[in-house]
A and B are shown apart, each in its own frame.
Chain A
Amino acid sequence: MKKKKVAAASIALVTAIAIAGCANGASTDAAAKTLVFDTTFDLKTSDPGRAFELTGQTIDKAIYETALTFDKGDLTKPVPQLTTYKLSDDQKTLTLTLTGTHTFSSGNPVTIDDIVFSYQRLQAIAGNPSFLLTNLSTNTPFTITKTSDTTLTITTDTPYPALPYILANPSLGVLDSKTLQKHGGTNTKDDASETYLNTTSAGSGPYQIESLDVKTKVVLTANPKYAGTKPAYSRVVFQNVLSPSQKTDIQGGQAQLSVGLNSQQVAGLASDTIKVLTSTSPNVGYLWLNQDPAYSGGITNNPQFTAAVRTGIDYSGVLAVAGNGAIQPGGIIPTQFLGAIKPDATNTFDLAAAKQSLAASGYSGQTLQISYPTDFTLDGVEFGTLAQKIQAQLQAVGIKVELAGLPITTLLQNFRAGKVQAGLMYWGPDFPDPSDYTTFSPGNPVGLRAGWTADQSPAVTAARKAAEAAVGDARAAAYETWQREANKAGVFIALLQAPRNYVTTGGISNVIPNAVWTVDVALIK
């Protein structure tokens, strides 16, 4: 009797599971418009004024519109979104003019007051991205002024051609000021609307927040008030998944998009249903050689020794470590940006030239210590692996190399104090404009970290000043010249930009990589 009951219960259970399975299948149609996006979260908040991490930028791009934006993946020219723009001839004033009709998810129209409020709030709350609305040369905040119901101006005290490029950053997303002010939002440092913005979005972008958990999952649903083209997916689920699990999710069809698999993980993954799109990360990995005699060990400030290192590195071998899709930028400016250059004779592998330079330097077997971060990767590529590759290459030239792995916080502390002989580090763009990179010039903050003072390389300083003063079409050439001059001095050696892999399945298309916000989910079809 008891056995019969167990058997009946088992049959009932199996039937229930089968029905549940069918129900799941039946709901596929209804959920067909859901996009599941696997990525490893570095999310802290979705408040655009406070978020400056990769995941936050992707999410804020979907929720908020910005005054200007970039067309798909093209970062060389800002295009209108909420406004059009005009930069004054002296490059000090940017005038924005409202264009078309845009509506927040609350139903309120987007006005000039909202833009002014959002920008002033960003400046006041001192969040991670607040520096974007500050003139970095003079360290003074931009002045934001409403000039009419349809125009506003952003002014600064020195020429600032990067201004339009900065405004496309999702951190400058325009907030619904009327709604926000009802929930603690102000354009002063007393703003208390972050919690509200993490539960209910206040933007005019294609999506709005359904739920948000910074540690596990973010769900967005389409914003019915969005003025642009309706997104193909009415619901987007961002899942925080480590890369090995991302791979199984994609293979099992539990996710349609994954960004975070490295080259080794995507090898052999492509099939009829799984597509792998490889783009290049804008983060530039570089090696620096300290010019301060106190920390140079008598070698890294020797121009001939520097030349030996630059030509002794087999860049193709370094790129091979990072996998397919990795590229070598010619200078410190990444290849996607205005002013990028191709590698020149100073950073092309030439073993014979390297040995010749080393002999000319008077090198007598001193140790070159290369420091690197042990707990941080360059878009999934271990700095330790890169360091070992370079060590083997330089030893082939005849340079004795010792490696010193340090936690990134310790290394950064020593590097910032200018006390590290040589090391590997990376620079991620704050905004897609070459002016973000002049910090690598002698006498400027990152230059000084390598003990590189302005008087050591007047030609580089002059080229930097010319680049900063250049306007319009002349900017690209000016920044190219600056980098070539910097390459001659040789203090910073741009090594690589690692690949960034976008893996898709389930027939989704139109995944367009973007160096600022990774991907615009509203464009995916």
Chain B
Amino acid sequence: MTAPATLIRRPRIAPVWRRPLAIVGILFVSFWFITMIIVPFLPLADPLAQDFTPLSPPSGTHPFGTDILGRDVLSRTLFGSRATLPFAILLVIISLILGSLVGAIAGYFGGVIDEIIMRIADLVFAFPTIVLAMVVAAALGPGITNAVIALALISWPNYARVIRSLVLSARNQEYVVAGRLLGAGPLSSLRRDILPNVASPMLVLAMLDLGSQILLLSGLSFLGLGAVPPAAEWGSMVGDGVQQFSNWWLAAFPGLAILTVVVGFNFIGDTLRDSLDPRSANAVTQVNA
């Protein structure tokens, strides 16, 4: 007896996640997350040990070559994920919480509070991101923690602006008004009725933002305002490589690392947007059909 064909259950993967770009994105990001976790257990040279011949080109012993201080570039590139990914995620979470809180308050209460908050946001928007980040990071002093603080201080308005507009449209919905009439206070209304309805767009925004935050963090390190030497960090490795232009491997491999992780997060963010936005999801289904 064979089971009827109709009963065979295929894995339930939404069509959008089966697109090549989504798969590439997931592969890149998974690779770097797994690397971040297992890299200390891999048989690699110490990323800080200056034990090898300086500036050796890629070879069997050192597949990514060595840098000017005789450190293994492969080891430094893989360890670099630990200096970038956790901080980028932390940065996005801080910006998301801060921006959402401020944006929700502005959108829900409106009036003077809204005006004050959004004008402050405009003020932050008025400066080019990297320039403002440089100013704050320079004031706080170099260091990856200070770079995260600097970027969080300038990244929250993105989230605040989006969540404000979402809360503005949601707060007059009948279910919210009904909740208020049933005696819900502003905070519980925001938490119970509004938050679940604005969470999806915020998740997409956060995922798309991860890529750009990694770029900004690396940019600050490139400029000497992020990770402090001798830490292995992609941005500062690219910065060092630019000084030694004829030794292409110094900048190329950490540059590739930045490229793959940023592209990966962007592809996942795009896919997430398509899968959570009903209109795009329909469009994709129709195209696939």
Contact = CB atoms under 8 A, between A and B. Distances in A.
Interface of A: 244, 247, 264-265, 267, 320-321, 374-375, 382, 384-385, 387-389, 391-392, 402-407
Interface string B153-189: 0000000000000000000000000000000000000
Interface stretch (B28-36, B116-124, B238-246): B238-246
A385 B228 contact: no
A403 B229 contact: yes
A387 B229 contact: yes
B69 A404 contact: no
A265 B228 contact: no
B54 A320 contact: yes
Which 10 residue pairs spanning A and B have beta carbons closest together?
A374-B224, A388-B230, A244-B245, A388-B229, A405-B224, A392-B50, A403-B229, A264-B244, A384-B229, A265-B246
B237 to A, nearest CB: 12
A388 B69 contact: yes
Q: Identify whether the interface residues of B are mostly helix, strand, loop, or mixed.
A: loop
A404 B228 contact: yes
Contacts of A374: 224
Contacts, number: 51
Assign chain B's interface to a size class: 10 to 19
Nearest to B55: A264
Contact of B224 (A384, A388, A392): A384
12 contacts: A321-B68, A321-B69, A382-B240, A384-B224, A385-B69, A388-B50, A388-B69, A389-B50, A391-B230, A402-B228, A403-B230, A404-B228
A264 B247 CA distance: 8
A244 B242 CA distance: 11
Nearest to A389: B69
B101 interface: no
Nearest to B245: A244
Given A385-B69, A388-B230, A405 B246 contact: no
Contacts of B69: 321, 385, 388-389, 392
A28 to B, nearest CB: 30
Contact of A385 (B68, B138, B245, B247): B68
Contacts of A405: 142, 224, 228-229
Most buried by A among B228, B229, B244: B229
Given A244-B246, A385-B240, 7 more contacts: A247-B246, A265-B245, A382-B243, A384-B240, A389-B69, A392-B50, A402-B228
B94 interface: no
A256 to B, nearest CB: 21
Contacts of A264: 55, 68, 244, 246-247
A335 to B, nearest CB: 24
Contact of A392 (B68, B230, B245): B230
A251 to B, nearest CB: 12
Nearest to A401: B230
A82 B110 CA distance: 82
B202 interface: no
A244 B243 CA distance: 10
Contacts of A402: 228
